[in-house]
Amino acid sequence: MSGLEVKKPRACILGIAGTELGNWEKGFLREADPFGFILFARNVKDHDQIRALTDALRETVGNSNVPILVDQEGGRVMRLKPPHWRHIAPAGAFGDLFDRNPDDAREAAYTNARLMAMDLREAGFNTTCAPVLDLRLPGMSDVIGDRSYGAEVGKVVMLASAVAAGLLDGGIAPIIKHIPGHGRATVDSHKDLPIVSVSRDTLSESDFAPFAQMKDVLAAMSAHLLFTAIDDQRPGTVSPKVIEDVIRGEIGFENLLISDDLSMEALGGSIASRTHECLRAGCDIALHCNGKRTEMEEVVSMAPLLSGSSLQRAQTFTNQIATFKADVPDGTQVADWQVRLATLLAPVWSAGDDQK
């Protein structure tokens, strides 16, 4: 032993309850030392508040590069919302533009991601749970819907690759989701367990293919779906067969695998058992989002300190965050991007189209 013991974070990502850290949370999180944090709309009030909160999370665990995640996709899934932040087009709008002009769609996807990255960096985030690589398939639940770039593998990969590049160039780490594919969900996995009964060959040719083509992205989020052709007993997140045979094997994804939210109703059993099962199945990180104290305590009780290949994958991801430059685009560049993006998207979408 050299005497220099590297601090190992715990194999979980946790949410918090409100817009600032309470005293219990500060003590609990400092002791638990999770790999990262995830924030939601309930945690966001305005620019100054969210920056103070993300700074406080870094300070609590003493790590300036701790992953701080947010689901910022655009469309229905935006945690940083108007009036304080831009209204962002859904993935489906870029898919619609692709059908008209693939080059314009790719440029728009990249430019939008650069602008989104700038917003996230200013708010203190370094990671977003995007892009979505799930296919938009007819007759399926709208839980994915226009969060998808489309039904064709080539289109999804081209647009999602542009998004990932734009995020990285803007200093935000992407997390692709929901591996190995959520497009065939017939019910919302937040409320029930989707059961997918098509053949393994069909899944390989379509659903799994975008992930295989983007397997070099350094993090992916799992899908809470039951694939009967692979494992008719366990949803993907807690299935060794899905993770070992499909995600690690067929798809060839060797990077950091994060579970989808363990509090979703697609999974059964206690939060403690869900945590144990997803890590035992092969997820590297257990994700828990709702910030409820008793559930967080269960997750931490079952999530060990990172070790082995999971630790190496986690360190690779955090090292990527550490390389991001702090400089931000100047006002002229930002204005040019905004005008160009609006022009490109004009045939298919404008900021007022899907305002709720």
Dist CA 164 CA 77 (whole Å):
17
What residues are labeled active site?
190, 260
User: 30: how many CB neighbours lie within 10 A of its CB?
Assistant: 12
Closest by Cα among 74, 149, 163 to 110? 163
| DSSP calls for 31-84 | HH-EEEEEE-GGG---HHHHHHHHHHHHHHHT-TT--EEE---BTTB-SS-TTT
Strand order of the sheet with strand 219-222?
A: 176-179, 219-222, 256-258
Dist CA 226 CA 196 (whole Å):
6
Question: Which residue's entry shows tokens 């009036």?
Answer: 83
Dist CA 305 CA 315 (whole Å):
13
Cα of 314 vs its chain's centroid, Å? 15
Read off the DSSP letter of residue 285: B
